[in-house]
Amino acid sequence: DAGVTQSPTHLIKTRGQQVTLRCSPKSGHDTVSWYQQALGQGPQFIFQYYEEEERQRGNFPDRFSGHQFPNYSSELNVNALLLGDSALYLCASSHTPTGIGQSPLHFGNGTRLTVT
């Protein structure tokens, strides 16, 4: 049973460029969330996708956008890259909860983005 897979694992971009990161959720999961993890910090919520719609968004500018496909996979796009966008980008999948409590997240290993 494949877990959450992300690609690429590493990426180096120049300021002002655009980047697309990809994520395939764990089998059976229908919800994908994206997080940004700066060095030495906890993950910060970017947004969550469910049924191909953005369901909630964190405190990130519109330069950050996403998409979810019918097979539940997802992309994160970042435009006009800034040096401060350098971070580990984590994709997490989950199953939309039907009971009490929030379903735990299953994370990929992340994409390390370096902006120079």
Partner 1 sequence: GDSVTQMEGPVTLSEEAFLTINCTYTATGYPSLFWYVQYPGEGLQLLLKATKADDKGSNKGFEATYRKETTSFHLEKGSVQVSDSAVYFCALGHTGGFKTIFGAGTRLFVKA
Element (H, E) at 94: strand 87-94
Element (H, E) at 109: none
93 binding partner 1? (CB under 8 A): no
CA 55 centroid distance within chain: 13
From CA 26, how far away is CA 3, in angstroms rounded? 5
- Contact residue for partner 1 among 29, 36, 43, 74 (CB under 8 A): 43
- Shorter beta-carbon distance to partner 1: residue 84 or 101: 101
Q: Which of positions 44-73 make contact with partner 1 (CB under 8 A)?
A: 44-45, 48, 50, 55-56, 58
The piece of 12-20, 37-45, 68-76, 79-87 that touches partner 1 (CB under 8 A) is 37-45
- The least CB distance from residue 100 to partner 1, in Å, is 6
